């Protein structure tokens, strides 16, 4: 069933700027230091994104930011306390891999239960202190040549089907 509600996300430009700044900083760091091995570049990038988001939302009582790393995939959670919305920030390639491989046991599938009002079916290790009303996945794909990213906010069902989406470009 389609939800006619358009995504409410006023802070999407903040997120795009945080990710773009992290990409630029990470690329400059590796270029200036002539790192030949790119091992750790992705991990360092996520540390930059997380620190940028923490810094951007530090004085904002409306949001909390947390970082989850599990093996090869990384996600940052941005929780809007007033709207009770959980934003899950992840790389588009990772998200597409989860959808393509139909990984219904993945963390994002578990958190998609929120969109159905099915909080009881979220495993205890994923529960938050507060119960969100919606979970929204924000994916990004950064183009190093253009020095900007493409972003998409998506609501999905636990079966990994898209309910609604909203796209924008970073500056």
**Averaged in consecutive runs of 10 residues, what is the pLDDT profile of the chain (171 residues)?**
53 83 81 63 81 86 80 80 87 90 82 80 66 88 81 90 85 64
Q: Is residue 38 part of a domain?
A: yes
Q: Is residue 2 part of a domain?
A: no
Q: Is residue 87 part of a domain?
A: yes
What residues have CB less than 8 Å from 103, skipping those under 6 apart?
Answer: 109, 160
Q: Is residue 6 part of a domain?
A: no
Residue 167's DSSP bridge partners are: 152
For the chain, how many structural domains are there in total? 1
Check residue 20 and give its pLDDT: 86
Check residue 8 and give its pLDDT: 56
Q: Is residue 102 part of a domain?
A: yes
What residues have CB less than 8 Å from 20, skipping those under 6 apart?
Answer: 142, 147, 148, 149, 170, 171
113 touches 158 (CB < 8 A): yes
The label of the residue with tokens 């119960």 reads 131
Check residue 138 and give its pLDDT: 92
15 touches 90 (CB < 8 A): no
Q: What Å distances lie between residue 107 and 5, 35, 114, CA to CA?
A: 24, 33, 12
Check residue 4 and give its pLDDT: 45
Q: Is residue 137 part of a domain?
A: yes
The backbone torsions φ and ψ at residue 58, rounded to the nearest 5 degrees and listed phi first, read -65, -40
Report how far residue 156's alpha carbon sits from residue 169's, in angstroms, rounded to the nearest whole number. Answer: 21
**Domain of residue 116, residue span:** 12-169
């Amino acid at each position: 069933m389609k939800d006619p509600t358009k995504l409410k996300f006023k802070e999407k430009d903040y997120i795009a700027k945080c990710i773009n700044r992290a990409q630029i900083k990470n690329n400059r760091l590796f270029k200036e230091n002539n790192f030949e091995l790119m091992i750790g570049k992705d991990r360092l990038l996520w540390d930059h994104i997380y620190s940028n988001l923490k810094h951007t939302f530090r004085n904002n009582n409306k949001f909390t930011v947390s970082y989850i790393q599990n093996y090869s995939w990384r996600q940052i959670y941005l929780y809007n306390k007033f709207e009770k919305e959980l934003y899950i920030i992840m790389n588009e390639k990772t998200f597409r891999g989860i959808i393509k491989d139909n990984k219904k046991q993945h963390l994002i599938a578990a958190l998609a239960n929120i969109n159905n009002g099915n909080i009881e079916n979220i495993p205890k290790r994923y529960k938050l202190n507060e119960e969100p009303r919606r979970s929204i996945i924000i994916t990004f794909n950064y183009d190093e040549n253009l020095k900007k990213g493409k972003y998409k906010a998506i609501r999905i069902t636990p079966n990994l089907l898209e309910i609604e989406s909203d796209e924008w470009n970073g500056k």
